[in-house]
Structure 1
Amino acid sequence: MEHAVNDIDALVREEKRLTAVESHSEAWAEGLSAGIEPEIIAEAALETAFGEMLRANGETSALALLDRMREKVVAGAFEPERLRH
């Protein structure tokens, strides 16, 4: 039974992730069409994300997220052919 609950939790989390990706993609496209450079959009998104993580979960959580993102960049997880949406 616990395995089924974990599967459902994983599916719900993935659905939320996909919805967040879609929302962020729309906001990114809106920023680009408004003439905002990608670097500025990215910096604003990261500042917002880390600010929210700090407020909600504290510095340790925000730094852990930063570490995970750095590891993904180094591993090439954000290269265009590896992105999943």
Structure 2
Amino acid sequence: MTESYLSDIDEMIVYEKMQAALEHQNDAWAEGFADGIEPEIIADAAIVTVMRETVKLFGEDATEAMLEDLKQRLLTGEFSPERLIQ
């Protein structure tokens, strides 16, 4: 097997894991909403959880770098619901 082939497999595995994680988060969001929790409260709780876990795993400096990256992605419209992927 070539290194490129293994890299492609690794990318597919990461992509599939990301899709599964997004499904779990969407399910949790839907459950919270169904229980009468407002979307802004669900979003805030999700962000707090992510920040705590990210700081725990990677430290504050790496978390800050991640936030800067997310800010740039936000500003370029990556998370916009109206964004078209071509």
Spell out, residue by residue over 1:3-37, the C-alpha distance to the aligned partner (whole angstroms, 9 max, x if none). 11111111111011000100000000111111111
Q: Which runs of 5+ in 2 are unaligned?
A: none
Q: Residue 82 of structure 2 aligns to a residue in which SS?
A: helix
Question: Which stretch of structure 1 is more off in the superposition, 61-70 or 4-13?
Answer: 61-70
Tell me the TM-score normalized by structure 2: 0.88
Spell out, residue by residue over 1:49-70, the C-alpha distance to the aligned partner (whole angstroms, 9 max, x if none). 1110111111122112211211
Question: Equivalent residue for 1:63?
Answer: 64
How high is the sequence identity, in percent, across the aligned residues?
42
Q: Which has the higher contact order (CA 8 A, sep 6+)?
A: 1
Higher helix share: 1
The one-letter amino acid of 2:37's match is I
Question: 5 Å matches for 1:1-85?
Answer: 1-82=2-83
* CA RMSD of superposed structures (Å): 1.5
Tell me the TM-score normalized by structure 1: 0.89
Q: Residue 78 of structure 2 aligns to a residue in which SS?
A: coil
In structure 2, distance between residues paired with 1:13 and 1:28: 22
Contact in 2 for aligned 1:32/1:38 (Cα 8 Å): yes
Contact in 2 for aligned 1:77/1:83 (Cα 8 Å): no
In structure 2, distance between residues paired with 1:80 and 1:34: 24
Question: Which stretch of structure 1 is more off in the superposition, 17-26 or 75-84?
Answer: 75-84
Deviant stretches of 4+, over 6 Å:
none
